[in-house]
Amino acid sequence: MKLSRLLEPLQGTEAVQDVEITDIVYDSRKAKPGCAFVCMRGSASDGHKYAAGAVKAGAVAVIAEEPVEAPGAQVVLVPDTRKALALMSAVFFGRPAEGEIRVIGVTGTKGKTTTAYMIRSILESAGYKTGIIGTIGVLIGEELMETENTTPMSYDIQMYLRRMVDAGCAYCVMEASSIGLRDLRVYGFPFAVGVFTNFSEDHIGGVEHKDMQEYLESKAKLFSLCKIGVLNRDDPNFTGILQNHTCHVKTYGLEQPADLQGSNCRHFSKPGFLGIAFEVSGEESFTAEVDIPGRFNAYNALAAIGACHELGIPAEAMKQGLSTVKVKGRVEPVPVPGNYTVLLDYAHNGVGMENILTTLREYQPKRLICLFGAGGNRPKVRRYEMGEVAGRLADLSVITADNSRYENVEDILADIKVGMAKTKGRYVEIPDRREAIRWCLENAQEGDVIVLAGKGHETYQEIQGEKRPFDERVVIREILEGKG
């Protein structure tokens, strides 16, 4: 593609010497013959310092915010290289979000992943193939590709959207993180619908957000990028998230009057299945049954219903999609032969553990058993908190390894027991996670709910710098089949 065409959306770049561009790169280590290199400033490095290296590797054009050394290549100066990368990438991949695929963005502190998978399940129940970009990775059909960030860089987003279109997807549901919104990763294309789940303290400090105000303002950006916004009316920050919005606003909630109203939220369960049901009124009217436990998932389901209502999806598809939705590693049930329930969840800190165990306690299991560990080379206070929460809320804890990284597992377990000691909680200590899972399965009783916390969607254990295959679904199956 010609450089002049790539630069068409950018102002002040008309007078360029036209050259053929084979690709766009923003990491100098990936530079190759014929590419355009975009200099990006990050928290740890500045791409302007690596322009010469990118040219040496074959870059024929450099997009920068200031003059750089790039002998033999054309340098194009722009006010903001993040915006430039987003706009150029959209052109390079044929602007897929402008007519070929409709994008739904989901932002909020909690519930983004679950809400995204609920929306996908509803859309696919209506007959629309739907991709996902988010925390668990990029999902196209049955292919799941891991990503480093919840919201990838703008180039990668456009690349995945093109792949989704080529695979026959009509929709993409994207988790729009606060960092992704702040850093313009989702700049340069329209969202058909934007969804707000909730807002609470998170991602403050370090290379993330300097304070809560910046965090809120970053999330609010989605509602100047979408045509229709579907927002949680019950959240105390509802008004703040709408600052500078340009979208048509629709609301959902369980308490405050809203366009979509949920009521009579209730639990229902059977072995291997924990869920919720509630009534939907307002712009839709039906009984929703959701195959994921917890009142907070009524909010997520209402958000999904609201988004799909704006897309014109019929109620029957909503009911079908919510009753069959599965989210990998988020209170995910795993089939077992007995009259007990095994769930996988990503809870890996005190707050997450408190949420999942409190939710499961509401279902009145015979015993609530929590298997968990803690990450190595992370703050010890997290281990103390997890131990204290599990000791207080679980009937029995099975403490074991997680991603120990470069630490000794026994040292991590000793820290967990410091928190446990503040409670009267019973626990079993089994350092090998596979053997700990085996112990839970062999000692399960009718009516038990066993939650394996910490790994969730992860399919590995990180030990001494090595990521070793460890998918708890596979481990459970192997143990039950006698292969473990």
Beta strands 396-399 and 427-429: pairing type? parallel
Q: Which two tokens stand for residue 392?
A: 């207080």
Neighbouring residues of 302: CB distance < 8 A, sequence distance ≥ 6: 252, 253, 254, 260, 262, 280
CA–CA separation, 297 and 332 (whole Å)? 13
CA torsion through residues 332, 402, 148, 80, sign: positive
Judge whether 141 and 135 are in contact, CB under 8 Å.
no
Residues 6+ apart with CB under 8 A from 269: 275, 293, 341, 363
Q: How high is the pLDDT of residue 203?
A: 47
The token pair that represents 200 in the structure block: 């609470």
Contact (Cβ atoms closer than 8 angstroms) between residue 134 and residue 150: yes
Please state, as a whole number, how many other Cβ atoms lie within 10 Å of the Cβ of residue 445.
12
CA–CA separation, 33 vs 200, rounded Å? 46
Cross-strand bridge partners of residue 144? 139
Cite the beta strand spans of 108-178 per DSSP E.
Answer: 130-134, 137-140, 143-145, 171-175
Amino acid symbol at 72: G
| Structure tokens belonging to residue 188 | 């340069």
Task: Name the H helices within 256-379.
Answer: 296-310, 315-324, 350-361
Averaged over successive runs of 10 residues, the pLDDT of the chain (484 residues) comes to 92 78 96 96 88 96 94 93 97 97 95 95 98 95 90 96 98 94 92 94 57 86 97 96 96 97 91 87 97 92 98 98 92 92 93 93 95 94 96 98 96 98 97 98 96 94 94 96 74
Whether 303 contacts 317, CB under 8 Å: no
In contact, 111 and 93? CB cutoff 8 Å: no
* Spatial strand order in the sheet of 171-175: 143-145, 137-140, 130-134, 171-175, 102-107, 191-196, 226-232, 248-253, 260-270, 273-282, 286-290
Q: What's the rounded Cα separation, in Å, for the pair 445 and 116?
A: 34
What string of DSSP letters covers 380-416?
Answer: HHHHHHHHHHHHHH-SEEEE--S--BTS-HHHHHHHH
What pLDDT does residue 438 have? Answer: 98
Q: How far apart are CA 282 and CA 342, in angstroms?
A: 36
CA distances from residue 239 to 6, 119, 194 in whole angstroms, order as listed? 38, 24, 15
Determine which helix (DSSP H) or strand (DSSP E) holds 429, and give its type and residue range: strand 427-429
Rounded Cα–Cα distance for residues 473 and 451 (Å): 13
Which residues does residue 105 pair with via DSSP β-bridges, in sequence order? 174, 194
Residues 273-299: b if buried by 16+ CB within 10 A, e if exposed: ebbbbbebebbbeeebbbbbbbebbbb
Alpha carbon 368 to chain centroid distance? 27
- Give Cβ neighbours of residue 179 (< 8 Å, ≥ 6 apart): 149, 150, 151, 185, 203, 208, 218
Structure tokens that stand for 54 in this block:
């990118």
